[in-house]
Each structure stands twice: as structure tokens, then as C-alpha cells.
Amino acid sequence: MFGLAALASCLFLEGAFATTAPTQFPLTSDLLRELSEKVEGRLYSAVAFAEPCFTSFKSADCEVIKRNYLNETSRFDTFGGYINTQWETCQTTGEQCLLDWEDPTNPGPVSSSQTCQLGSVSRHFIDVRKPADVAAAFDYSRRSGVPLIVKNTGHDYKGRSSAPGSIGLWTHNLKDITYDPEFIPEGCVKASPGVTMGAGVQWGEAYQFAEAHNITLVGGSDPGVGTSGGWLMGGGHGALTNTMGMGVDRVLQFKVVTPDGKLRVANACQNEDLFFALRGGGGGTFGVVLESTTLASPPVTLQVYVVQWTNPEASLTHDLWSILIENGLKWADEGWGGFANGESAIYISPNLDTVRANVSMAPLIAFGERIKHDGIHGATLTVLEFPTWGTFFNAFAGDNSAAIGVNLALASRLIPKANFETAASRSELLAALLKAHTLTPGLRFLVSPPTSCPGDGSTSVTPAWRDSVYHITLITTWDWNATMGEKKTQYKLASDSISHLRAITPDAAYSNEADVYEPNHKVAFWGDNYSRLLEIKDKYDPDRLLDCWQCVGWTPNSKRFACYIA
């Protein structure tokens, strides 16, 4: 349900930052000692997020964990914390250190025969502060054979920022952020207003900075997501991307350490091939990005329309989604973005005035008035105007954050314009969505494809983004103590549910939010860009020091993927 909860209410909980501190560990080899010296002692042993509770369930440290087990800030500020907890575990062996996400005060997980084990959490990690740290890690990995992972927040649905027995490159403390109204990418001549952000900056922080500088940054819809990592390198979508472009359309420059240990500047004027790859080819693949500079725009006034009700009711979901689909092409062409699920819809326009927006949204307004008149429980219709993106975000983001601290499988699909062009195709799309929703009630519409922003062909995301109206996601979950069979069942359920949409659409999905077992993933994520991306991967990382699940050039038989369920 989407509401008006303030962002602060979900971010600043008591004890949110009081998590287990990193500790030094015995240096058991000459290579590790050498690595520790090169990174100035910022090499630490990793600790599972819930470890204090397995030491003492009634301790003060455990009380903090229990209070904040489902809090994203607490998890993101701890190296061992991940948004979805199966990526802290080894799913194939059962090694884990989890509490009961439905009731973190339940002592069952610690009173069972389960012990606290790292699972897929890196054995050690480097608190990255400078390019030399990353270069040293690449050298260590090449000489030792120990795999590397790159992690900022752990907001990753496919397990790409964890791997058993690995060393983690934790970029979370790279928090510098600056604004230059006349930023010129190195080696170029054209100036544009740009904001340069370290790899640890998150969208909640970036939006606050933008408000203070009277500018707009186009980013994600969750405050905890990083601005320069997987969100950006995977494409980057949000409620403003229809009219203002995806993250990869707006990035002006990267600073990245490639696996040869060199710090490179990638932009439209130098290392252009790497710039292309980083603009949609995926994070954790071509190098370790330490900072990015993205285009800043003037403030935008937003017209916002919200319809919602409280109790699920199939007939109302049918009626709401019928309205959305019937108006899908029109609203996409007019620049609307937003979110919807089975009981609510939010539509946002940065380019229509109040009069034109009211005319455009008349079908949704009429539906809202109808359910209020019919006395539907919790039914509301809200029409608002916000002077900036930041003020809207502060009002709505708290209720639009992703599920935190749970075991979760996610799948997605891009829905092209062709599915809206005839009455028959619209009916077919509605039926497929309702079937998927029956299997997985957490289905969401993300009205975020860049339908009104065709791009210039210089990015490496699948071209299908430009022809799409919706990005549809759905989820399944399982308990902390689920069996292997139960986990497999939930992954299959997510895949089966999205297959209702696969059957009527081309192969196209968002790499960051796709089925873990996405079939034909090369085409689904990158279309005909894959072969060029693979060439760039071979050029910059021939030894595959960077590798991740279903990423460009991945090696499925690598030991780093031993904890994925086959």
C-alpha cells in the first residue's frame, strides 16, 4: 500500500547504526599480510549480521539487531547485512546465521541446532577508501585465486555482492558528493551541470543534496539504493525516467579501477568502449567504480494522483488494472511515471500543469471517486502538487522501500507497446497480469521505462527499454528455516508466475530485478548489445577476476557460485 509516511520514519530508528564493528583478524598467510599492509590495515574479518544474537540472544548487541533486523539503514551500514537474507546464506549447504524475519524476537533460530555461519558472506573485506585499495585486491585475487566481490549496500536481488570464501570490496564509505554547474568531463569540451558522487552515496542522501542545491537528480525510488553501483550500471530506472531518461542516459563520467589495477576515466571522450559497457552492462563486471558524475536538471513541479484502498478485492484490482492498461500508451506518451499494485496506484507527471494533468488522469480520478462513493474500506483519492522531486520523495518513499531482511525471489518483465495496441492485446495483457497476481500477490507495476526518452543508441541496456510501457516485478518469500525443497519451490513459483508475461512478450527483463534463473538472459538483459559487451569484458578482464551470476561473460562453474541452488 502506498501512503504518505515520511521518509524519516523508516530511516532513523533507535540504534539503527549500532551494529557489530569490524574486527582485525589473524593474518594467516604472507599474501594476506601483504594485502593488509597495502590497504593500510583496512582489511577486516567479516561478521554475519545476526551474529551477536547467536553469541547471546539477550545481550544489548542482540537487542539492537532484533529491533533493526528489518531496517535497511542498519543492514546497509554493516558489511554482513543484505537486503535479501538468502544471499547471506549458502543455500546449497544450509550454512546461515538468520533470525526469523516474521518475528525477530523469536528465539527459535538460536535455540535450534543451527550455529552462526558466514554462508555466502565474504570471509574478509576491505573498507575501500582509495584506488590503490582496489588495485591491491585485484593483485591479491590474481595471485591467490581467492574470488572478489563488490558491495556497497547489498541491495541486490541476484546475489552478485556475496560469494563464499571471497574477499569483499566494500565501497560504502565513499560518501563524497559535489555539484559543479559547469562540469566538463575529462578530455571533453562541453560543460553540463553535474553532481559527482562517491560509490557509497545512496539516493536518499543524493536527493537531500539536490534539494539543498535547488536541482533535480533522476534516480531510484528506494532511499537505500546506491547511486553509482549496480543501479546505474544496470540501467537505472525510477518514477522520472520516462521523460528525463534512465540513469545510463544521464551519467557523464565514471572513475573506475579496472582489473589491471589502473584507475581509468570513462566518458564520451576517452575509454569510450568502457563508458559504453558501464552504461548498462551491469555492475561488478568491467571494473570497480569509485565515483560517477550524473547530469543535474532544474527543479520540476510534480502533479501527483493517488488512488488506494485497504483490503484486497479481485474485482477492484481488475477494474484498476483495466484502466491503467486502456490508458497505458496515452499516459506513457504524455510522460507519466509511477507505481501500482493490486490495491493502489500513484501516477506522477513532471511536465504537465494542473489543468492538463486533471484531463489526462480523468479515468483514474473517476475510479477513485467511485470506490469512495461505494464505501470501499480505506478508499482514498488524493490529488497533490509537489514543488520538487525531493519533497515528493520525502512524502512517499517510506512506503515504497523494498522488503528488507527477508528471503525473497524476484522476477520481472518489460511490457512493450505492442501489448497495448489493440483491444485483443490489451485483454490478453490484463489476463496474464491477473493470472500472475493470483500466484504472486506482490506483483507491482513500475511505470518507469523511458518511453518518452528514446536515447541516442550509446548505452548498452537492451533496446527493449525504449519500446516498453511497464516494468513488472513480482516476488515470492520463504521462512528462515525453509528446506532446500521449499526454497526451490519459491524460486520456481516466481519463474512460473512471470512466465504468464513471458508468453506474450519478447525476451526483455531488467537485469537488476530479473528472475535469478532468467532463461535466455543474454538477450533478455542486453539484446543485440551482448556480443560487443563480451568483447569489452575480454579486453579489460581476460582473467575473470570479476564475475557475477548471469553477468556479461560469467562462468557458471566457478566456485563463487557454489551456494546457488541448481
Domains of the chain: which residue ranges? 19-170, 177-298+528-540, 302-526
The pTM of this model reads: 0.93
Condensed to tens digits (0 to 9), the pLDDT of residues 250-288 reads 999 999 999 999 999 999 999 999 999 999 999 999 999
Contact 368, 304 (CB under 8 A): no
Listed residue (439, 410, 400) closest to 513, CA to CA: 410
Domain 19-170 has CATH 3.30.43.10: yes
- Residue 6: is its pLDDT beyond 50? no
Please state, rounded to an integer, the average pLDDT across all residues of the chain: 93
Q: What is the spatial distance between Cα 480 and Cα 83, in angstroms, rounded to a whole number?
A: 14
- Residue 158: is its pLDDT beyond 50? yes
- Residue 28: is its pLDDT beyond 90? no
Average pLDDT over residues 515-538: 97
Q: Going edge to edge, which strands form the sheet with 43-45?
A: 43-45, 124-127, 167-170, 148-151
- Residue 481: is its pLDDT beyond 90? yes
- The residues, ordered by sequence, that sit 6+ positions from 471 with a Cβ below 8 Å of its Cβ are 237, 412, 413, 414, 415, 445, 446, 447, 448, 449, 510, 513
pLDDT score recorded for residue 428:
98
Q: How far is CA 240 from CA 221, 237, 302, 490, in A?
A: 10, 8, 10, 32
Helix (H, G, I), strand (E, B) or coil at 297: strand
- Residue 18: is its pLDDT beyond 70? no
Q: How confident is the model at residue 159 (pLDDT cuts 50, 70, 90)?
A: very high
- Residue 2: is its pLDDT beyond 50? no
- Residue 1: is its pLDDT beyond 80? no
Average pLDDT over residues 460-471: 98
Listed residue (90, 52, 43) closest to 74, CA to CA: 52
Helix (H, G, I), strand (E, B) or coil at 333: helix
Average pLDDT over residues 112-136: 95
Q: Burial of 105 by CB count in 10 Å (0-12 exposed, 13-18 middle, 19+ buried)?
A: exposed
Average pLDDT over residues 331-352: 97
Domain 302-526 has CATH 3.40.50.620: no
Average pLDDT over residues 152-180: 97
pLDDT score recorded for residue 22:
54
DSSP 8-state secondary structure symbol assigned to residue 124? E
pLDDT score recorded for residue 181:
98
177-298+528-540, what's its fold? 3.30.465
Length of the chain: 566
